[in-house]
Structure 1
Amino acid sequence: MINIPRGTQDILPAETKKWQFIESRLEYLMTLYNYQEIRTPIFESTDLFARGVGDSTDVVQKEMYNFKDKGDRDLTLRPEGTAAVARSYIEQKMHGDPNQPVKLYYIGPMFRYERKQKGRYRQFTQFGVEAIGSEDPSVDAEILAMVMHIYESFGLKNLKLVINSIGDIDSRQAYNEALVEHFEPVIGDFCSDCQTRLHSNPMRILDCKVDRDKPAIQTAPRITDYLNEESLAYYNRVKSLLNELDIRYEEDPNLVRGLDYYTHTAFELMIDDPSYDGAITTLCGGGRYNGLLQLLDGPNQTGIGFALSIERLLMALEQEGIELVDTEPLDLFIVTMGDQADHFAVKLLNQLRKSNISADKDYLKRKIKAQMKQADRLSAKYTIVLGDQELENNTVDIKNMESGNTETIELNNIVEFFKNKE
C-alpha cells in the first residue's frame, strides 16, 4: 500500500466544507478592504527565496524543497508567499498602476520541510495579504485592524496582538552591532545556528527556539533603544492609530520575525489561553518590508503584509468549540424500484440540478429500506419513491423527512414544488 507523504494530510469531504467556509469568508472580508486576489506559481526560482527570504534563515538553510528541472534550472516549491508576490509586482510592473498602494491577497499551498507536529505540516495552506507602494503608518494600522477583524469574525476571543519595531536600515545596523557585542562573550554556549548567525544576522538569535530561555537572551539589548528619530516617530504613529481604533496590543522588544526582509513594524497574533491544547500558539505574523523589492532588482518601493495558516485557524476554532457550518442538507433523494424508474430518475436528477435543486439517488440497486437510510444520512429534506406505478400514473408521493407528512404531486411538477418552497 502506498501511504501519504509524511507531513501532509488528506482533507476529506466532511472537512472541506469548513475550508470552503473559511476561504469564502476571507474572500468576502478582502472586498471590504479593497484587496484583490493574486495567484503565483507553486514553484519559483530558488534564487528568489535565497535573496528575498534570506540566506541566514531556517527557511532557506533547512526547510526548502529544491529541485532541478530538465533544463538544469534550480527551482523551489514556494515556502512562503511574500517573495513571490514581490517578484510578480516587479515583473508585471505593478508600480506603474495609478492605484497605489497595490493591495493584494493570496491563498494556496506552501511547502517547508519541518518536523511534523500538531498544527504544522510540510504542505500547508497559507492565506496572505500584501499592500505595496506606500510607507504610511495608516497602512500598517489597516493591516493590523484587518488581522483582528479576520479572527474575530470567526468568533475567536482569546487573542493577543504583539507588536514591535525593527526600525529602518540604520537603526538595525546600530542594533546589530550592539547584539554582536552582547552575545560574543557567551556565543560558545549557544547552538551552532546562533554561532553562525552572530555576524551574519544577530537579530535571529533572539528568535532561536533552542536558546530562547538562556539568560543572555533575556538581558539582550532592546531594539527600541536603538531606534533613530525617524523610526521611533513611525512606531509611535502606528501605536497611536491602534489606540484610536481601540485595538489592544502588547509590545515585545524581542519580536523580530523569522525572515530577513522586515523593517519597522513587526507583529504576531497569538492564542492567549493557558489551556490551549497546541504546541504552536502563534496564529498569524507579518510586518513591513522596506528594501525587499530592491533586493529582487525592483523599484524602491515599500510594503507590508501578513500570512496565516488555515490549519492553525481550524485548530484554534476547534479549541474554542466554534462550529463553522452544518452539513448542507440535500433537497431531494429519489428512491427507485426497477430499471425503468432508475432510468427515469437519471433524467429527473438532471432537470432538478439545472433548476438549482440539490438531489441524488441510489446507485447500488439497494432495497427501499437501505435507500431510505441513505436519504437520512444525507439529511435529505424530502424523498420520493419512484416505481412502475408512479411512472404510469405520472404522480408521486413526496415525503417531508422532518415532519413525516406526505403530499401527492405530478412528476412533471416536482421542480415547481421546490421553487414554491423558496
Structure 2
Amino acid sequence: MKIIFLTTVLLVAEGVWSDESAPTVEIVTPQSVRSQVTPKAPDAQPEGQTSSPTKSPSDSMDYWENDDFVPFEGPFKDIGDFDWNLSKIVFQENKGNAILSPFSVKLLMSLLFEASASGTLTQHQLRLATPTISTHYQSREFYKNIFNGLKKKSNDYTVNFGTRIYVDQFITPRQRYAAILEKHYLTELRQEDFNKAHETTEKINNWVANVTNDHIKDLVKEDDVQNSVMLMLNAVYFRGLWRKAFNRTIQLPFHVSLNESKTTDFILADGLYYFYESKELDAKILRIPYKGKQFAMTVILPNSRSGIDSFIRQIDTVLLHRIKWLMDEVECRVILPKFHFDLATQLKEPLIKLGISQIFTSDASLPSLARGQGLANRLQVSNVIQKAGIIVDEKGSTAYAASEVSLVNKFGDDEFVMFNANHPFLFAIEDETTGAILFTGKVMDPCL
C-alpha cells in the first residue's frame, strides 16, 4: 500500500521602500559593467540630486543596530550535510531555476524514523537525513528547538508551518504514534474517506493554501488520493523583511550564460554586510540578514559567469560551515536581481541517491504507522513531492532608474566591496538560532 509525501513551501523576502531612505545620489554599479553603461563625471549630477557622500553609512545615527553575527554551533551543527547534499542533486537535475526546502523533507523523514522498526535497514537509512541524531529522544529535542524558534511571534517576519498526515478511513493509526507526532512534531493525523477523492483533495489543498497564504493551492491531485492510503504533508511559509532595506531599483543585464544576457530589475543597498571571498570555491559569499535577528540569506556567487555548474559539483558542507567563521563585516554595495519562481520536484530518486531507498520498496519496515501487523508490513512510500516558491523584491517600489548609470565608489575607501549578482548564483535561508536551513535555491535566470 502506498504512502505519498507532499511538501510545500513558499518564501517571500522583501525590503521596505521608504521615501526617507531613498538615496539622492547617482546609482553605482561595479567595474564589471562599466563597458555596458554610459559613465558620467562625479559632478555631473541630475537636477535635484546631490553629490555622493564620502562617509560610511555606518557613521550615520540612522544606520541599523550593529549586526553581531555568530555562526550556529551546537550538538547538531553537522545537520546541514544532508541539506546541501540533497540540494546538490536537485540543482544538478534541474538546469533552470530551482528551490528546495531541505528542512521540510528532513522533517518528513523524521516522522518515518519514528515509525520504523528498531535496528532495521529502514531505520538506518532514515537516519542519513539527520546523521548526528541516533535516537528518538535526540530527534524530538532537535525539532523542539526548531519549532520553538519558528513559533516566535514577530512584527518583522511571518513564519507559518504545519504538518499533517491524512490516512484512508479504513486504516487505524497507532495511538502512541499519533500522540508522539502531535506532542513532539506538531503533526496532526486525520482520517478521511479516500474513496471521495474530490472532496478529500479539496480539504487537503485548502489546508495547504491556508498555511502558504494562498500562494500554493493545488499541491494534491485527485489521483494522489485515489492511488494511496496515506498522504504525509508539510507546508512552510516564510515572509521576511530585509534588515537593511533595498532602497533602489535599477535595470541591468543579467548574464544567463557566457553568450546571452537579459535586462532585468535589480535591487540595490549600501551598508555593512558579512562577506568572504573563497579561493577554494572561487566564489564570493555574502550574508543578508532579515529583520528580527533570527533569519538570514546567504548568497553564493561564483566568480566566473559560467562557474555555477562546477561550483555545484564541488559543494563542500564542511568548507561552507568554516567560511561562516571567516566572514568579515565590510562596507558593501549589494546588487541583487528581483526574482520570483516556483518548482515542483519529485524527490524519490534524489533520496535514493543519498542512500534512503528501502522506504520505497516492499521491504520497508514501518510498523508503528498503523495497527494490524499485516497492514503495517505492507506500507511503503511511493514518492516524495515538493512544491516550493520564492519571491525576492522590495516592497512598493515603483520608480525605476535608467539603465545608464554612473560609476563611483560611494564610500571612498579601499575596503569597499561590490557584490553584483549579475550571473547565476545559489542562496540559502537559515534560522541562525538553530542552524536549520529552511530553503536552498539556484537562480539561473531571474526573468523566468
Same fold (TM over 0.5): no
What range is the shorter-chain TM-score in?
under 0.3
Structure with the higher strand share, 1 or 2: 2
Higher helix share: 1
- TM-score relative to the length of structure 1: 0.22
